[in-house]
Amino acid sequence: MKRLLLLILAASIGLSAEARHPIPAWLRDAVVYHIYPSTYMDSDGDGIGDIEGIRSKLDYIRSVGFNTVWISPVFESEFEDGGYDITDFYRVDPRFGDNAALERLIADAHARGLRVCLDLVAGHTSDKHPWFVASSSAERNEYSDYFIWTPGKQGGKPDKKFVDNDLPRDGYYMKNFYDIQPALNYGYTNPDPSKPWQQGYDDPGPTAVREELKNIISFWMDKGADGFRVDMAGSLVKGDDKAHTGIRRLWSDLFDWFEAKYPEGILMSEWSQPQYSLDAGFDIDLIIHNGRGNKLYRTLFTQTANNGDHTPCYFDPEGRGGCRTFVDDYTAMLRETAHTEGIAAMPTCSHDIWRLNRFDRSTPAELKTMLTFFFTMPWTPIVYYGEEIGMRNIEDAPVKEGSFSSRNRSSCRTPMQWDSTPNAGFSTAAPELLYLPIDPSPARPTVAAQIDDPASVLSYVRQLIALHKSTPALGTGGTWQFLSDPDRPYPMVYLRQKDGERYLVALNPTRRSVSASFSLSASSVEEILTTCPGNKYTLAKGSVNRIRLKPCSAVIYKIR
């Protein structure tokens, strides 16, 4: 009966009736640590982080409780977009080391029980990549259709995604983000015959590009990688296709191949549309600041933006936000993806998203409350480096290697703060040679100051990870039910449940005491973990429960 209901549900929302594939068993217990390599640890004193630096910190990563590492691109690049403009997908950039260094990192990680996922920039290359240089030739060659070109410059550019150029080829090429990032040609879902640059999915150019994508994946998986996070995963096949049929076909085709060849490998998508991405076969879809993340991540965590948007978020110390949008859309998301094996996961932040410690949201109590949310939702926890110690978002960090788009992305990419030595232990280079400046605050958090402090953010993260791993009801397989009134947003109260075990999570991000009443059958409650003592849970007559939380606090109860 359950399977029949899932088939009916899938059909009703226009998705495939079958889950693409079961996710690897190890992913159920994964806790992911995301590293931006240029600013994590510098091993050779040149001011830029590197692979050997990451390798030197594997014991630290494991000691916190993380068991999976995701590393932003380390491949050969012009670094006009922080490594996301690749010139060779098969070679580590010399700034980070070499291929052998990456293989050593993966081997040493595996020896410690850690898995390593790399970053797959599938949608574009650098305009200096040999494929694009060949494609821009006036003479036809095997790479001519690897990118999207108009047949000439007569009549001007079709739209703003096409780039003015003085290259030998007579035509405009399509970009994905910056002009220096020409879009690879995966074809169009419904190509318009009147627009000859729109090739079909099965045309020779798109077919060849898909084979190159498989080659890149195989190259690194065969060297020991455990999977990839796929950049811009939902945008590869072009065209006006609201149902995403073209891109879902691409990933479905690729997953048939990937699962057969690498059954223990995973792919995470930067898509933020899990009703499509998980159905296509992705193991994880990242719910971030775009796509569906506008209703989820942004409404919960995004404070005043560079563009002047003053909409308050839920995790606002003054309590000016709401959670109705999040509750409604997240509940719908769980319903829409119930037929899949994949996981819709919200990272704490990333190399593109502001850190949690930003503006007036900065105290350990406030950060612990937010982190409680990330570790008690039904997803794989994904923590950006430095969040485990509460590193601050540096608003005035200098723009570096294309880091400014609509916002200054350097602000969340500053060096990891290890200790109180010069450059916070990140590098022995002179301060002016650092990739980005260290947080100048004398009160900046460090690993050394927190590692043995039981009241620190780092110690609390350790506790959260241990609880997540040891408690199935709080893991990726448990159910989620919102209990408090979404229209009275503070506190947020939800229930996690699996195999008869029940845990209640209550969050108060505001600087005032708040209370809520809700319906729940319970005979007793046991406090499992809290950010501060003194919260009060009351079992009243019938099924009425009441909870009162102190300012900036979170608590997890076991319900019997």
Q: Domains of the chain: which residue ranges?
A: 124-183, 479-559
Q: Strands across the sheet with 501-508, in order? A: 479-482, 492-498, 501-508, 553-559, 525-530
Determine phi and psi for 147, rounding to 5 degrees: -130, 170
Decide: 448 and 425 in contact? Cβ < 8 Å.
Answer: yes
Whether the CB-CB separation of 86 and 77 falls below 8 Å is answered with yes
State residue 13 phi and psi, 5-degree precision.
-110, 15
Compute the Cα dihedral for 312, 318, 320, 323 and give only its sign. positive
Taking the C-alpha atoms of residue 53 and residue 385, their distance in angstroms, rounded to an integer, is: 14
Domain 479-559, second-level architecture: Sandwich (2.60)
Cis? peptide before 472, omega within 30° of 0: no
pLDDT tens series, the chain, 560 aa? 333 333 333 443 344 445 557 899 999 999 999 999 999 999 999 999 999 999 999 999 999 999 999 999 999 999 999 999 999 999 999 999 999 999 999 999 999 999 999 999 999 999 999 999 999 999 999 999 999 999 999 999 999 999 999 999 999 999 999 999 999 999 999 999 999 999 999 999 999 999 999 999 999 999 999 999 999 999 999 998 889 999 999 999 999 999 999 999 999 999 999 999 999 999 999 999 889 999 999 999 998 655 555 678 999 999 999 999 999 999 999 999 999 999 999 999 999 999 999 999 999 999 999 999 999 999 999 999 999 999 999 999 999 999 998 889 999 999 999 999 999 999 999 999 999 999 999 999 999 999 999 999 999 999 999 999 999 999 999 999 999 999 999 999 999 999 999 999 999 999 999 999 999 999 999 999 999 999 999 997 779 999 999 999 999 999 99
Alpha carbon distance 198, 215 (integer Å): 24
In this prediction, residue 4 carries a pLDDT of: 37
- DSSP secondary structure letter of residue 57: T
Query: What pLDDT score does 8 carry?
Result: 39
550 pairs with which residues across the strands?
A: none
Tokens of 34: 């995301």
What's the sign of the alpha-carbon dihedral 528, 534, 540, 543?
negative
If one counts every other C-beta atom within 10 angstroms of the C-beta of residue 420, the result is 12
Tokens for 285?
Answer: 């879809």
Tokens standing for residue 338: 């119930």
In whole angstroms, what is the distance from residue 482 CA to residue 314 CA? 15
d(CA 44, CA 491): 48
Which position has the token pair 């003054």?
A: 318
* Residue 401: how many other CB atoms lie within 10 Å: 19
Write down the residue that tokens 């899949």 correspond to. 340
Would strands 382-384 and 32-35 be described as parallel, antiparallel, or unpaired? parallel
Provide the sign of the torsion angle of the four alpha carbons 323, 326, 332, 338, taken in this order.
negative
Residue with tokens 């990680």: 109
Gap between the terminal Cα atoms of the chain: 29
Q: What is the CATH number of domain 124-183?
A: 3.90.400.10
**3-state SS, residue 159:** coil
Position 427 scores a pLDDT of 98
DSSP state of 99: H
pLDDT at 501: 98
Q: At what angle do helices 245-261 and 204-221 cross, to 10 degrees?
A: 40
Give the Cα separation of 235 and 188 in Å (integer).
11
Residue 488: its H or E element: none
pLDDT of residue 240: 86
Residue-wise over 343-354: b if at least 16 C-beta within 10 A, else e? bbbbbbbbbbbb
Which residues, other chains included, contact 464 with Cβ-Cβ below 8 Å and sequence gap of 6+? 371, 372, 375, 376, 381, 529
Angstrom distance (rounded) from CA 377 to CA 274: 16
What pLDDT, on a 0 to 100 scale, did the predictor assign at position 14?
44
